[in-house]
């Protein structure tokens, strides 16, 4: 492939223009930004984000980011709003308009109805003296000196600035609400973070008849059959009262054979490990993964709150659950 300097030059110019546009936002952040955040925090409803065209795409993303970080939000298409969807917006909501020109017809059309409802309005525009900016309770300046498009036509710098300003709102609100990683996980149960923060050992452990069990009188050959049939590479060992008193693993078996033990006569009590690792069933699955990795074991005994045997969890179970 031949080297094409003009393509790289164009890319660098675009990035530089957009970088400068975003950097210029820092000097324009003022009390209006704080007021916008306060309106959203005080709202008993949702933040309704709306915009047309490319601004609409950015508005959708801002609404999604707000909703996933503790601020109830949704996107409403302004064109559909004029044909019935305006009923989705209540007096308890806050509306965030996105429009670079500040004069987008579909948005301006909504102003009289929203004003009559008494809905707080926040505008994010590139023209502080525009119709939307003047009509809003709070106006956020998202203006840019130039678009990255060499024709000055395609929304580029302006949409990037709007996206960054939307992220700034979402993160400021996140911190103001004290939103935590655990809160984030609750709204993302299908994601990796959700699984790591919500999935508990009891949700993935093997229990009941699937738990490998032998008594302290069991000889090694019978214990080997239990290990093989259950497929955990280990078995639990119970005392006369039925309480777990140790575990016996493949590694223990190899050491016993190396020591010359007769597997048909040696009781498991004499070769089991009484100092074994375990985890409680209500612990997070990610804690089980960490304990296994630190202890270099591939199956872990699970106990309930009364420290009674509750199940077995394998590293393979954690891998399948995408915890590690």
Judgement on whether residues 11 and 154 belong to the same structural domain of the protein: yes
Indicate whether 191 belongs to any domain.
no
Pair (121, 206) in one structural domain:
no
Edge-to-edge order in the sheet of strand 138-141: 73-75, 47-51, 94-99, 121-125, 138-141
Alpha-carbon gap, residue 205 to 251, rounded angstroms: 22
Same domain, 30 and 148: yes
294 & 159 share domain? no
Question: Hey, CA dihedral for 257, 262, 268, 269, is it positive or negative?
Answer: negative
Work out the pLDDT band at 200, boundaries 50, 70, 90.
confident
Percent of the chain with pLDDT over 90: 60
The domain containing residue 215 runs over which residues?
A: 201-320
**pLDDT at res. 292:** 87
Q: Tell whether 26 and 90 lie within a shared domain.
A: yes
How much of the chain is helix, strand and coil, in % rounded to 5?
50, 20, 35
pLDDT value at residue 196: 58
Confidence bin at 324 (pLDDT 50/70/90): low
* Structural domain total, the chain: 2
Residue-wise pLDDT tens digits, 254-271? 888 889 989 899 999 999
Residue 204: CB atoms within 10 A of its CB come to 19
Confidence at residue 295, expressed as pLDDT on a 0 to 100 scale: 86
Residue 53 half-sphere exposure toward CB, CA atoms < 13 A: 13
Place of tokens 């930004």: 33
Q: What are the tens digits of pLDDT across the range 281-304?
A: 988 888 888 898 888 888 899 999
How far is it, in rounded angstroms, from Cα 162 to Cα 142? 6
Cα dihedral across residues 107, 111, 112, 118: positive or negative: positive
Q: Are residues 215 and 281 in the same domain?
A: yes
159 and 105 fall within a common domain: yes
CATH code of the domain containing 301? 3.10.580.10
- Residue 227 and residue 184: Cα distance in Å, rounded? 40
Q: Measured between alpha carbons, how far is 179 from 96 in angstroms, rounded to an integer?
A: 21
pLDDT in tens, 129-152: 999 999 999 999 999 999 999 888
Has residue 195 been placed in a domain? no
Bridge-based pairing state of the strands 213-215 and 121-125: unpaired
**H or E element, residue 108:** helix 105-108
């Amino acid at each position: 492939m031949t080297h094409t300097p003009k393509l790289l030059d164009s890319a660098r110019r675009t990035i530089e223009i957009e970088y400068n546009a975003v950097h210029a936002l820092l000097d324009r952040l003022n009390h209006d930004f704080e007021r916008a955040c306060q309106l959203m925090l005080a709202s008993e409803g949702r933040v309704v984000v709306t915009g047309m065209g490319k601004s609409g795409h950015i508005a959708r993303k801002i609404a999604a980011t707000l909703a996933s970080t503790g601020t109830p939000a949704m996107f409403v298409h302004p064109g559909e709003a004029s044909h019935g969807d305006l009923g989705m917006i209540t007096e308890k909501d806050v509306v965030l308009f996105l429009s670079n020109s500040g004069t987008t017809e579909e948005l301006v059309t909504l102003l009289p109805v929203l004003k009559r409802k008494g809905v707080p309005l926040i505008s994010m525009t590139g023209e502080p003296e525009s119709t939307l900016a003047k009509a809003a309770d709070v106006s956020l300046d998202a203006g840019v000196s130039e678009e990255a498009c060499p024709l000055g036509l395609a929304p580029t710098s302006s949409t990037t600035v709007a996206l960054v300003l939307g992220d700034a709102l979402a993160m400021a609100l996140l911190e103001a609400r004290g939103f935590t990683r655990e809160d984030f996980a609750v709204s993302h149960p299908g994601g990796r973070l959700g699984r790591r923060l919500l999935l508990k050992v009891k949700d993935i452990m093997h229990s009941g008849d699937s738990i490998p069990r032998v008594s302290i009188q069991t000889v090694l050959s019978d214990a080997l059959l239990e290990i093989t049939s259950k497929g955990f590479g280990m078995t639990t060992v119970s005392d006369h009262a039925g309480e777990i008193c140790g575990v016996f693993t493949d590694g223990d078996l190899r050491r016993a054979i190396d020591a010359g033990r007769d597997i048909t006569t040696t009781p498991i009590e004499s070769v089991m490990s009484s100092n074994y690792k375990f985890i409680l069933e209500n612990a997070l699955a990610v804690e089980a993964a960490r304990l296994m990795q630190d202890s270099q074991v591939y199956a872990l005994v699970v106990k309930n709150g009364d420290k009674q045997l509750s199940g077995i969890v394998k590293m393979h179970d954690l891998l399948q659950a995408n915890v590690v």
